[in-house]
Amino acid sequence: MSLNAFPLRTNIPEGFLWFARILGVNGANPTTQIGGEGATITRVSEGLYRVDFAENPGTFLGGYFGYGAATPADLRGYNAVRDTWDATEFRFDFSVYPSDGGAIGDIIANQYLDIFIYFRKSGVTG
């Protein structure tokens, strides 16, 4: 996967972050606002999103999320939970849970989700 060479200081040899910020669009595929190079981000179903990488980005190490909104209090209590990394399809699925703790639900217009996925270059040990 072709990534810009901006070194990240980390305790994992050859570790790097992949980043994208998406904007919710009320029940459709989100809009990628920043980042997202080498991948496509889609809405699979309500509250379920998928990051499909065009090629193997490396060894998956973890992922985390950050929320934002035009009215930040609208996202108070929201959470995203990742699925396991699909190393065959180079796919990362995650689900969004709203503040009421109920069933999964979409991020909507004027709501943002920052996606950070941590990888290590393939074939590196240590």
Mean pLDDT taken over the chain: 88
- Tell me if 91 is assigned to some domain: yes
Is residue 46 a contact partner of residue 106, using CB atoms and an 8 Å limit? Answer: yes
Closest CA relative to residue 42, chosen from 54, 34, 50: 50
Q: How many domains does the chain have?
A: 1
pLDDT digits (tens, 9 = 90+) for 39-94: 999 999 999 999 999 999 999 999 999 999 988 888 888 899 999 999 999 999 99
DSSP per residue, 17-72:
EEEEEEE--SSSPPEEEEE-TTEEEEEEETTEEEEEESS---EEEEEEEEEEESSG
- Tell me if 29 is assigned to some domain: yes
* Farthest CA pair distance, the chain: 44
Q: What pLDDT does residue 8 have? A: 65
**Can you give the residue range of the structural domain that contains 25?**
15-120
Q: Looking at the whole model, is its pTM more than 0.75?
A: yes
Q: What is the mean pLDDT of residues 101-111?
A: 85
- Tell me if 8 is assigned to some domain: no
- Tell me if 6 is assigned to some domain: no
pLDDT digits (tens, 9 = 90+) for 5-20: 666 677 888 888 999 9
